[in-house]
Amino acid sequence: MKKRIVFITDCADVAYNELRGVILDNIKNDEIIIEPVVSVATFSIIDGNFVLRLIAEAYPKGTVFSIILNPSKERPARLIGKTKKKDIYFMGANTGIFTWLFRDFGVEELYELNDPGFFPFGGKYVHAPAVAQIAMGKPLKDMGHPFDIEKIVKIDIPVGTIVHSDNFGLMKFTGELTGLNEGDKLEVIVNEKTLKAVYAKRMMSRETGEWVIYPGSSFGLPELGKVRENGAEQLKAKIGDIITFRKV
């Protein structure tokens, strides 16, 4: 069975090709596939949480996820491990990036990678070679030492938080859509801006330029968008901003 490596990172420029090149130089198995980069918003641990959880749902058992996304001032521990659900392998810094994944998938194994010290672009010189070893089947216990799960950094994502905006300006946010019927009128507040919106199951059926809240495609999260226009760009909405709404 082919094994896949997925990079989730804000290093989506030439740095990704460097990461990919290091993996290719280190693997000795034609059955290992490096997937296209999964890009996340720069320095955004919230977006990284959402994207990791989303992609983990989509990829097959045994996939190796390499998360390179670190806005921290201090050097966090580099973690490697495997989830209970789907036996997904992971490597990434202890920044809170694993909050959503660990909550839903559980943790079967967890280690801190043996620390070789600081390197500029550690993702290339430390992280990528370790990911290649994981993909080739090296036992995790031989690459690090046990890490106490109680020391895992967790982040809090309040209800209404925008966790991702796509290239269409559609904003995925945490929360539930209950008690709403097709065409219900809504008052929505984003960044102290009040919008008139409607609820619809299929937002593209509405008129161009209309604001719509609708059930999204990502494990039940609601979305806010402006039909056939880039709503997030117009609002200057960012990941981490809060969306509130009420029926009027």
pLDDT at 89 over 90: yes
pLDDT in tens, 108-166: 999 999 987 777 787 888 999 999 999 999 999 999 999 999 999 999 999 999 999 99
Report helix, strand or coil for 26. Answer: helix
Average pLDDT over residues 36-61: 97
Q: Do residue 168 and residue 105 come from a single domain?
A: no
Of 100, 132, 151, the last residue of a domain is 151
Element (H, E) at 144: strand 144-146
End-to-end CA distance of the chain: 54
Q: Do residue 142 and residue 214 come from a single domain?
A: no
Is 157 inside a domain boundary? no
109-113 and 162-165 as β-strands: parallel, antiparallel, unpaired? unpaired
CATH number of the domain residue 211 falls in: 2.40.30.90
For 90, the token pair is 């992971």
CA angle 11, 191, 174 (to 5 degrees): 65
pLDDT at residue number 98: 98
pLDDT at 235 over 90: yes
Q: Which residue has the tokens 């045994």?
A: 62
**Number of domains forming the structure of the chain:** 2
Residues of the chain above pLDDT 70, percent: 100
Question: Is the dihedral angle over the CA atoms 207, 227, 59, 110 positive or is it negative?
Answer: negative
For 127, the token pair is 């992280």
Of 82, 117, 151, the last residue of a domain is 151
